[in-house]
Structure 1
């Protein structure tokens, strides 16, 4: 889906008659369960709807800098929204992925006598009609829950004295979200939240391991274990996870000999690598050489035909198809 298509889809939901429903996602015995939030109709429900309408408008509809990238191949970017294109899903995404309004409206209501806000994992917010809508996921963090045992101080308008507020559990909520779903398509708005809280790091490890295996088959490194050791570093594993699927080197079957020769004759790579005694394999002896090798395998060193200069382009779009 392109950014224009995403904007249009969200705009359609907001422009048509719609309502908003709030669901609490509880983590009970390591299982995520859904509870319908019984929200007061006159003041609270419209305010929740306004919060998330404004969020969608600012983050999607009016965001001219927004770009949509496939999650499996894109580098992290401040203005990117990532379309989830993996074939498998972590368990933490299951409830959000399978959410259906017609089923959800029959879910149990959150009950303060039988449910515990201490088990709150996140929220699912639905905006739309019964036929068409946007599903949002918002992660809950403990800092946003103020327990009734806390001392709450509040000031009333036209008063100069703070007073103790009633001792009740309070959820502090702002209008943002980290995941968005349209139909069956999930979009990631906050990549770090997905990795840290939704079990996505395990999928990254799997993809990164496949990349290391593919590089091992290429036989381009004199010691593959040096690269395999980097799987334990999250930031490096994330970069590795994209190489096997995204790199033209694997798609086009570029030979080991051509790659090594490229590293020796490209100004941008001069001095970045050491080589085996026979000069046929790359030796990764420093952290800088590992980073340079990942860029190499991602085909991130580009030559401008206009200026005849070399560039390090970590994010690029293929424009060769359809030109002419």
Structure 2
């Protein structure tokens, strides 16, 4: 096992090898991250693996990063190679480097020929600096004593990204969006969806949708439509979509229309949310009960059928 520190100063990133004490510290760290990996991923029979670009957030799911471009923060993880890292990265210097710039950790588990790369985000609250007064509770002595030493880093086994053979798997979507430069990709994908919807001529005013995309939560939902929607994949016509909105009981009253009745008018937050669900084909009719349902997440049935062994 090796741990590398990812440092960020201004907009520049640097990776430095953490010189870990071999006898006591390294085995404990290895055990901590390995156990976490097995508990949450390897031995988790209910875990789902979904594509990041097309899947809404779900419980017990990791997301394969399937975008074509990578923010610099993710590129560092994707391109990490243990064979190159040994010669490429210097050791962290307590003279030249500063733990105040600590951004995250790259943890390598495995052998030189085969291993797993984990990324753990560092937060300032986990760094206790030397100018702090540390009071240790010593149960054996039933008293409190000052804990001496320099800067202290608090670590647990939680990680947010896994990299295997250059493939990234995201375990924590919120961390990805807030810290890894992913917001720009969401906005770009949302704009791509807006342009495709505009080409259909479905909306009375496409700019209403574009303005709403300034909200990250809405942009996130919008960003997945172009790639995942069967409406685009199957080439469903504008006329068929408009007719569906008017004749489907579940959609009754959710939309208003232009004076000609050929375009949808989005004038409320609810109508915009309903439009996203419409474009994701989320309004379904049960063939058994003939009832209409709203499906927030669905997988194509073909993908759920096991292939013969």
TM-score range with shorter-chain normalisation?
Answer: over 0.9
Runs of 4+ displaced beyond 2 Å: 320-323
Matched, 1:295 2:274: no
1:7 is matched with: none
Residue of structure 1 in register with 2:175 after alignment: 193
Query: What's the CA shift string for 1:76-132, capped at 9, x where partnerless?
Result: 112110001100011111211110001112221111111100010000000011111
Q: What secondary structure is seen at the aligned counterpart in 1 of 2:213?
A: helix
CA distance in 2, matches of 1:39, 1:174: 16
Alignment correspondent of 1:71: 52
- Partners of 1:152 and 1:167 within 8 A in 2: no
Residues 109, 290 of structure 1: alpha-carbon distance in 2 compared, 3 angstrom cutoff = same
**1:69 & 1:167 partners in 2: Cα distance?**
45
What is the CA-CA distance between 1:246 and the residue it aligns to? 0.7
Structure 1 residue 249 corresponds to structure 2 residue 254? no
In the alignment, does 2:91 pair up with 1:109?
A: yes
TM-score normalised by length of structure 2: 0.96
TM-score by length of 1: 0.91
Q: Report the counterpart of residue 76 of structure 2 in structure 1.
A: 95
Cα offset for 1:28? Answer: 2.9
Aligned partner of 2:298 in structure 1 is 316
Q: Which moved further from structure 2: 256-265 or 23-32?
A: 23-32
Q: 2:192 aligns with which of 200, 210, 216?
A: 210
Q: Deviations over 1:42-61 (max 9, x none)?
A: 11000000111111111111
Contiguous gaps of at least 5 residues in structure 1: 1-19
TM-superposed CA distance for 1:302, in Å, is: 1.1
Q: Matched residues in 1 for 2:61 and 2:302: separation?
A: 23
Match of 1:178 among 146, 155, 160: 160
- Structure 1 residues 58 and 39, CA gap change in structure 2 (3 angstroms): same
Does 2:89 align with 1:131?
no
| Deviation string, structure 1 residues 184-242 (Cα, Å, up to 9, x no partner) | 11100001111110000000100000100111111111111111111110010000001
Given the alignment, which residue of 11, 22, 28 partners 1:41? 22
Query: CA separation in 2, counterparts of 1:128 and 1:306?
Result: 51
Offset of 1:161 from its aligned partner? 2.2
Which residue number in structure 1 is paired with residue 65 of structure 2? 84
| 1:236-272 deviations in Å (ceiling 9; x for gaps) | 0000001011101011111111101101111111110
Contact 1:150 1:167 in 2 (8 A): no
Deviation at 1:317, TM superposition (A): 1.2
Report what 1:270 is aligned to.
Answer: 252
Equivalent residue number for residue 203 of structure 2: 221
**Cα RMSD for the two superposed structures:** 1.3
